[in-house]
Chain A
């Protein structure tokens, strides 16, 4: 499998003062579904920003698609072939929808990406229409994004990335602020995209979705280092690990896959298995 991201001894600190990532070593290959989990402030968003070449490692090396990722290579205003290739391949849904919505209508917002990447007009219109239909946004196509509800905004953000059709999707807290039905819809969407062969990297602290949307989990500790990097099932079954990363509280019992077993609807009906609660 092709290696997409390769991080070697990467650290990042904001303003040379606030440490956000420490000594990260990672490789991610095409077609993987990975969740990045960790407590608040452990560095998840920072890692995604580095993967999307929006900020750069303060030390260590980052490679994307076999090319080194450095500020000089990306910040040039001149024609920049690798940067353009990278932007078509990688899409990023930000944690805060407000920073991602800057167009004056929903339609323009979703059409922005494909237009920047130089697709022909008809294709842009077609893609935008189809994405809006898929996300049920067609009825608000002419609304200004800042007048939408939190959940609608999030949907528009996701749509604005899907219209680029990137092979690699970076999502930062995609389920934040979504109602349960929309959350379910989103996990199903991510499962479909995974089946289509996309690489999906999601930062989250929603333990309910980890196993549904990923096969591999990377756990960050509060010291901004990687605590564990293994299969999602293993991670979710490791009480000690989740406790030490401050992801769960000791009064909370995590029962791994038993708590929320949730087959995809096409494979059968939803059914939740009842679990007897232990009392410590």
Chain B
């Protein structure tokens, strides 16, 4: 029944020496990092279980406060005020028993994507006219970059720098607030409070499906790597590996979408109808009222300062 070559079985003991990998491969590094972050922080709810400041607040209060702050931040134009808000998130992280350095690192992972692609060009006078801050190059009149006419000299502008710094600080503050909310709140409580503040069932259902979907996607990726490692004999060069990862993305999307569908079925089967029901009772404590009033007051004052309606 089995083909000929399968009949041959090596019985010689192994004589070579085991070599030690010099560096982790591209895919493995990326995936391990992402996975351990999500597992640690969101699935195991390590941070949400700690007893800190934000953990002790009612999830509805946190949700509303975060929303108010994010809206506030988008209205603020002064980089100093934004810096204060960003530093405030670090203080909140500290009092919520989240390692501040770790938190800062996680937040700034997301920022280069925005900063690099969207705003860095705004530094230069090519995109935003302004006063010279750092001269870069003198091109002379009539130079072109493709069809675009370039100014006679290129420099980093003062206005551009302020613009970029403000933008990055705004992103940093918003991302920090969102991550704080997710880290300090158990996921099912979060979805329950979305319902509590009257977000329609369909949206909550969709968000919770997406949330679950992201984890499944990550798990599927990890499984794929494990499965491949068990079959792979030599390690691939980074380029190859990147191509392999790329080639699998489409497949993984389909696969995890299918699994997420089945998870949803399993929930429906046990009576889930889009309304999250939990043991936990939402009770507003004294500190919750204090928190929400403080947040609102802070937001209004900072927005007014930022718009120079009041000055210190």
Residue ranges of A at the interface with B (Cβ–Cβ < 8 Å): 49, 52, 54-55, 77, 80, 83-84, 87-88, 90-92, 94, 96, 98-100, 102-104, 108, 111-113, 115-118, 121, 124-125, 144, 146, 160-161, 164
Contacts and interface: CB of A to CB of B under 8 A. Distances in A.
Contacts of B270: 87, 91, 112-113, 116, 160-161, 164
B43 A146 contact: yes
B273 A77 contact: yes
Contact of B263 (A102, A104, A111, A160): A102
B271 A54 contact: no
Contact of A96 (B262, B272, B278): B262
B273 A116 contact: yes
A84 B277 CA distance: 14
B212 A117 contact: no
Given A99-B263, A111-B279, A115-B279, A54 B269 contact: yes
A124 B279 contact: yes
A104 B45 contact: yes
Contact of B187 (A91, A104, A113, A118): A104
A201 to B, nearest CB: 14
Given A77-B202, A116-B277, A102 B267 contact: yes
B271 A116 contact: yes
B43 A115 contact: no
Contacts of A77: 201-202, 205, 273-274
Contacts of A112: 270, 272
Contacts of A146: 43
A86 to B, nearest CB: 9
Contacts of A87: 268-271
6 contacts: A77-B202, A80-B273, A99-B266, A104-B188, A116-B270, A164-B271
A87 B44 CA distance: 29
B265 interface: yes
B273 A84 contact: yes
A102 B266 contact: yes
Interface string B265-301: 1111111111001110000000000000000000000
B271 A99 contact: no
Contact of A54 (B186, B205, B265, B279): B265
A44 B205 CA distance: 30
Contacts of A161: 270
- Which secondary structure dominates chain A's binding surface? helix
Contacts of B43: 104, 144, 146
A83 B266 contact: no
Nearest to A112: B270
Nearest to A163: B270
With a 10 A CB-CB cut-off, give which of A80, A90, A108 has the most chain B CB atoms.
A108
B273 A83 contact: yes
Interface string B188-211: 100000000000011001000000
Nearest to A142: B49
B110 to A, nearest CB: 24
A116 B267 CA distance: 10
A115 B278 contact: yes
With a 10 A CB-CB cut-off, give which of B44, B201, B269 has the most chain A CB atoms.
B269
B41 interface: no
A96 B262 CA distance: 10
Contacts of A108: 188, 279
A146 B202 CA distance: 27
B271 A104 contact: no
A157 B274 CA distance: 21
Nearest to A76: B273
Contacts of A164: 270-271
Nearest to B274: A77
Nearest to A116: B271
A127 B265 CA distance: 23
Given A52-B269, A100-B266, A144-B43, A115 B277 contact: yes
Given A77-B202, A104-B186, A117 B265 contact: no
A83 B275 CA distance: 14
A245 B187 CA distance: 47
A34 to B, nearest CB: 19
Contact of A116 (B186, B187, B272): B272
A236 to B, nearest CB: 28
B259 interface: yes
Given A52-B269, A104-B43, A125-B279, 5 more contacts: A77-B202, A102-B263, A108-B188, A113-B270, A146-B43
Nearest to B275: A116
A11 to B, nearest CB: 20
Q: Which 4 A-B pairs have the closest CB atoms?
A: A116-B271, A87-B271, A113-B270, A99-B262
A57 to B, nearest CB: 16
A125 B267 CA distance: 19
Contacts of A113: 270-271
Contacts of A117: 271
Given A144-B43, A146-B43, A94 B266 contact: yes
Contacts of B267: 102
